[in-house]
């Protein structure tokens, strides 16, 4: 997943997934924590913030990521942030929160007892299915034979397991398409799930991921699924090759999509498709307007759990 300096609207890559109860997971943190969590147990401080407006959790997440927080979860007007107890610095946190006080309704902190997070994660993580079209699970799940396609991921290493509405909506757009022989650019590929599914349907292409840890995770996932027709490149919009694609998938965020529209237009075939997600439902209208102004015709928009998707093609 590509990162924006302004704000995130979806979990970026290489952040561990930690269970917080039921089947809910934290999907943000640092790559090094993911490695450490496999071999040691840690005490954590859980900082939970409630805001007056849903725009603030994303903004504060970007601000707090400058401190040694390992994981974040955004849910509507709430932000949960987890930091190792030994790294907790109340003064540093309050310095960041100070300018946002008018928007903060409630602040609580609690201690999360040490656990072997990787073991707990495996016991809580559930595979995801899409009708009889696709099964997505981890290596420790039994793989069923009743689905047209199955994908095995190491999903605690990067974003994109199919659980998040953005990934699910982009996948859904590919289900009914004939991808045999189609060329695809998977921009902000995260775990590589979209590249893997497209490959299984006969597509070829490139996945680009700005985060080096996530790019390595994507390469591992492609190897786990014996994918030979896609290559993962570590980089940003400037690493998009000088070639034309039938489909560009951009499951990133509104800011990066807007910044990349001109390059997407150059890299897309005349009858190609641009499928975007990673932004809020409220972003659909302004982003659609921006895309139209950049020479795209909006073909379809969808939304799921307050997350949006736009499918477009180059204007005639």
Domain 18-120 has CATH 2.60.120: no
Looking at domain 160-314, its CATH architecture is 3-Layer(aba) Sandwich (3.40)
Residue with the larger pLDDT of the pair 30 and 143: 143
Answer whether 0.85 is exceeded by the pTM: no
- List, for residues 18-52, the tens digit of each pLDDT value: 333 333 333 333 333 333 333 344 678 899 999 99
- To the nearest 10°, report the CA torsion of 191, 195, 201, 203: -170
Query: pLDDT > 70: what percent of the chain?
Result: 81
Domain extents for the chain? 18-120, 160-314
Is the pLDDT score of 143 beyond 80? yes
Mean pLDDT value across residues 230-258: 95
- Per-residue confidence (pLDDT) for residue 37, from 0 to 100: 39
- Per-residue confidence (pLDDT) for residue 5, from 0 to 100: 29
Least Cα distance to 108 among 81, 142, 85, 134 occurs for: 81
Name residue 250's beta-bridge partners.
187, 276
- Per-residue confidence (pLDDT) for residue 119, from 0 to 100: 60
- List, for residues 39-95, the tens digit of each pLDDT value: 344 678 899 999 999 889 888 988 898 898 877 888 889 999 988 888 899 999 999
Distance in angstroms (rounded) separating the CA atoms of residues 157 and 160: 10
Asked whether this chain's domains 18-120 and 160-314 adopt the same fold, the reply is no
How many CB atoms neighbour CB 15 within 10 A?
27
Computed over every residue of the chain, the mean pLDDT equals: 83
Mean pLDDT value across residues 306-312: 95
How many CB atoms neighbour CB 264 within 10 A?
25
């Amino acid at each position: 997943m590509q990162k924006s300096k302004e704000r995130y609207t979806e979990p970026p890559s290489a952040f561990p997934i930690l269970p917080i109860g039921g089947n809910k997971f934290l999907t943000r943190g640092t790559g090094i924590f993911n490695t450490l969590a496999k071999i040691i147990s840690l005490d954590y401080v859980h900082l939970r913030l409630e805001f007056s407006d849903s725009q603030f959790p994303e903004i504060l997440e970007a601000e707090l990521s400058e401190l040694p927080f390992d994981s974040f979860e955004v849910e509507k007007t709430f932000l949960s942030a987890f930091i190792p107890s030994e790294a907790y610095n109340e003064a540093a946190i309050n310095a960041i929160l100070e300018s946002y006080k008018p928007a903060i309704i409630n602040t609580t902190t609690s201690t999360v007892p040490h656990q072997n997070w990787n073991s707990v994660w495996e016991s809580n993580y559930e595979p995801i299915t899409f009708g009889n079209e696709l099964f997505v699970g981890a290596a420790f799940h039994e793989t069923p034979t009743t689905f047209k396609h199955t994908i095995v991921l190491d999903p605690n290493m990067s974003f994109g397991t199919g659980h998040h509405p953005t990934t699910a909506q982009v996948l859904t757009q590919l289900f009914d398409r004939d991808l045999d022989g189609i060329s695809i650019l998977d921009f902000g590929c995260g775990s590589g799930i979209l590249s893997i599914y497209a490959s299984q349907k006969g597509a070829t292409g490139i996945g680009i991921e700005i985060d080096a840890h996530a790019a390595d995770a994507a390469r591992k996932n492609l190897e786990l699924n014996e994918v030979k027709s896609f290559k993962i490149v570590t980089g940003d919009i400037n690493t998009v090759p000088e070639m034309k694609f039938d489909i560009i998938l951009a499951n990133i965020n509104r800011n990066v999509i807007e910044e990349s529209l001109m390059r997407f237009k150059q890299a897309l075939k005349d009858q190609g498709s641009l499928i975007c997600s990673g932004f809020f439902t409220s972003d659909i209208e302004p982003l659609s307007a921006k895309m139209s102004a950049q020479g795209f015709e909006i073909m379809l928009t969808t939304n799921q759990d307050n997350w949006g998707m736009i499918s477009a093609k180059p204007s005639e």
